Amino acid sequence: MRTIMLIDMDYFFVACEEIKRPELRTRPTIVGADPKEGRGRGVVMTCNYVARKLGIHSAMPISSAYKIAPDAEFLPMDYPYYERKSNEAFGIIKDFSEKTEQVSIDEFFIDVSSKVNNSEDALLLAGKIKSSINSEAKLPCSIGISSTKLVAKMACEKAKPDGIKIVGEEEAAKFIWPLSVGELYGVGIKTRERLEKMGYGTIGDLAKANIMLLMKEFDSFGIELHNLSNCIDTREVIENYEVKSISKEYTFEKDTSKDEEIIKSIRKLSAEVGKEISGKGLSYRTVTVKLRYMDFTEHLHSRSIRPTGNAGDIEKTAVELYRENVDKGKKVRKIGIRASGLLDYKNQKLLFG
């Protein structure tokens, strides 16, 4: 039998901020867009549990969060720092098994089948991993354990915050069937709405659904839904392998400080990089903009985002990075766009359509 764990950092971005400023632990703290005294646009990326108790949650408009708690601590995203902490946590996790997979900046699968013999072993090992991440990276996390990725992930949801939950193979169906279809790992809002319209409220309803009906509505994803709702999930924990980065550069004929001209080049280069990435079936984590100025000084500005296959995000991120960092006092000579942290996400794509 396989033993798979999903390790998920609790309220990750804010937890990172709390390392820098421990006093935030007892205050409602929110990382996300600038609230601009209630007029700000954008959303809450993460908030701590003090803020959650007040009714604030991630993806909530930042203006709503401000209405609830104007005195809360509102902080901007510090991606490079979060990525360093993410790498630190992943490094610790890798010490426990060679079979590890990063799902997002704060979620990791680890297959420990060869390290444990029973559920007591598994719980003990999870406790060790959790306390290592706590003591070395100073980050809180929750761990779900089961024989499939699906149930490990769903167990972890129930373990949060700061907990460990194990669901044995024989209890898996009993565990997921009472949950609503929206809680099935891999079901997004759109799919949930369609399933509810078809009359399936719980995962148990879905498990008993006629597979032909599901296929009629969802094509091959219908088979997937049928399998997942019946706890059938053979996906392996796959080590993400990093390919080289992909980059493009452009030297202006004449040094320029014109935003339109520079941004036009950024868009063109981003499109070229994006095209190459999607052509190879890869996704990327980090976008870097290189600015070389007329005095030959060179600056690199990077931002990491969730692994994504969306080529359009390269352009968006690159333009943001340019606007935030360009030195208006100097003309730009050369510009470069690079996507790195490339991952082969074909396996995920096959599964989640």
| Binding positions for Mg ion, rule: CB under 5 A | 8-9, 12, 106
Closer of 140 and 341 to Mg ion (Cβ): 140
Q: How many degrees, rounded to 5, is the angle at CA 276 between CA 270 and CA 277? A: 85
Q: Least distance to Mg ion from the beta carbon of 332, Å?
A: 38
Q: What is the SS3 assignment for 202? A: strand
Q: Least distance to Mg ion from the beta carbon of 167, Å?
A: 19
Closer of 52 and 290 to Mg ion (Cβ): 52
Contact between residue 207 and residue 229 where contact means Cβ atoms under 8 Å apart: yes
Reduced DSSP (H G I as helix, E B as strand, rest coil) percent helix, strand, coil of the chain, to 5: 45, 25, 30
Q: Least distance to Mg ion from the beta carbon of 9, Å?
A: 5
Tokens at 306, concatenated: 């969730």
Residue 161: is the preceding peptide bond cis (ω within 30°)?
Answer: yes
Closer of 130 and 226 to Mg ion (Cβ): 130
Q: Least distance to Mg ion from the beta carbon of 242, Å?
A: 22
> Distance of alpha carbon 69 from its chain centroid, rounded?
26
**Residue among 215, 234, 235, 216 nearest 225 (CA):** 215
Closer of 103 and 277 to Mg ion (Cβ): 103
Q: Least distance to Mg ion from the beta carbon of 89, Å?
A: 11
Closer of 65 and 143 to Mg ion (Cβ): 143
Q: What residues are paired with 110 via a beta bridge?
A: 5, 100
Q: Which residue in the block uniquely carries the two structure tokens 């994006």?
A: 274
Query: Own/partner pairs for 12-15, CB < 8 Å, 24+ apart?
Result: 12/46, 12/82, 12/85, 12/86, 12/105, 12/106, 12/139, 13/45, 13/46, 13/77, 13/78, 13/82, 14/46, 14/47, 14/48, 14/75, 15/48, 15/139, 15/140
Contact between residue 62 and residue 33 where contact means Cβ atoms under 8 Å apart: yes
Measured between alpha carbons, how far is 348 from 228 in angstroms, rounded to an integer?
Answer: 14
Q: Least distance to Mg ion from the beta carbon of 341, Å?
A: 19
Closer of 9 and 137 to Mg ion (Cβ): 9
* Burial category of 161 from C-beta neighbours within 10 Å (exposed 0-12, middle 13-18, buried 19 and up): middle
Catalytic residues: 107
Q: How many degrees, rounded to 5, is the angle at CA 173 between CA 169 and CA 177? A: 155
